[in-house]
Amino acid sequence: MNNNGYILLVEDEPIIQKKNKNILVRHGYKIRQAYTLAEAREIMLDKSPRAIILDIGLPDGSGLDFLYELRQTSTTPVLMLTAMGTAEDIIKGLEAGGDDYLAKPYELPVFLARVQTLLRRASTIPESLSVGPIRVDVSSGKAYLNNEDMGLSQKEYALLQLFAQNPENILSAEHIYEKAWGQKMHGDENALKVAISRLRTKLADSGWTIAASRGEGYCFERE
């Protein structure tokens, strides 16, 4: 088993924290613990985790808001834990960018299996993506053109990462917005158009551009 990196447990209930930590440690995983979103952010400043186990209801805010924030720059896999287990709650969590959802109370063997599955999926995601002279560093959340930092905003980086994962493929505006913004577009494409226009400018001299395909979406393609 590859144990490089740590799993971040974000949970305010000490008993649940202890049980989750113990079963993961027994199976060889490195663990760091946060009881609030502020603690989670502080821990992640040092190094990004392999995966995040995220409670939704936390003392200093909603785990969903934290997840929206995370998805602006990171593809770190997230397993959400919550006492709110209705179909509507699950849909909200997955649309926010969660990779899996487990309602409380749960059996620890099920929890362990979900975490292991999450990590297996994550192991297939490359640490960096290269398209011509463009390199997208997934682990750091930065992009480079001819080894120079492109200075992208969070949204521009999220867009470029998505396009670099799908070169020469037409992606619908709705799909792009949902992946980059972490929520449904609801018919307003203006914010997406502005962000793509700015990114297109920063791609000048790269040999690649973002072409609009009327009625279909956008395509990251060679000029």
- The yes-or-no verdict on residue 32 having pLDDT over 90 is yes
Percent of the chain with pLDDT over 90: 49
Looking at residue 123, its pLDDT comes to 66
For residue 215, the SS3 value is coil
* Same domain assignment for residues 175 and 160: yes
**Rounded to 5 degrees, what are φ and ψ at 74?**
-135, 145
Looking at residue 1, its pLDDT comes to 43
Segment among 45-59, 115-129, 188-202 with least mean pLDDT: 115-129
Please identify, among 122, 150, 185, the residue that sits at the C-terminal boundary of a domain.
Answer: 122
Identify the residue whose tokens are 């192991």: 123
Looking at residue 18, its pLDDT comes to 96
* Same domain assignment for residues 116 and 144: no
* CATH number of the domain bearing residue 83: 3.40.50.2300
Local confidence band at 185 (pLDDT 50, 70, 90 cut-offs): confident
Q: What is the mean pLDDT of residues 157-185?
A: 86
Q: What is the mean pLDDT of residues 55-76?
A: 85
Per-residue pLDDT of 73-132, as tens digits, reads: 777 889 998 887 677 777 777 777 788 888 888 999 999 999 998 888 776 666 678 899
Overall domain count for the chain: 2
* Same domain assignment for residues 103 and 151: no
Tokens of 51: 């995966």
What global pTM score does this model have?
Answer: 0.61
DSSP annotation string for 15-51: HHHHHHHHHHHHTT--EEEESSHHHHHHHHHH---SE
* Same domain assignment for residues 94 and 24: yes
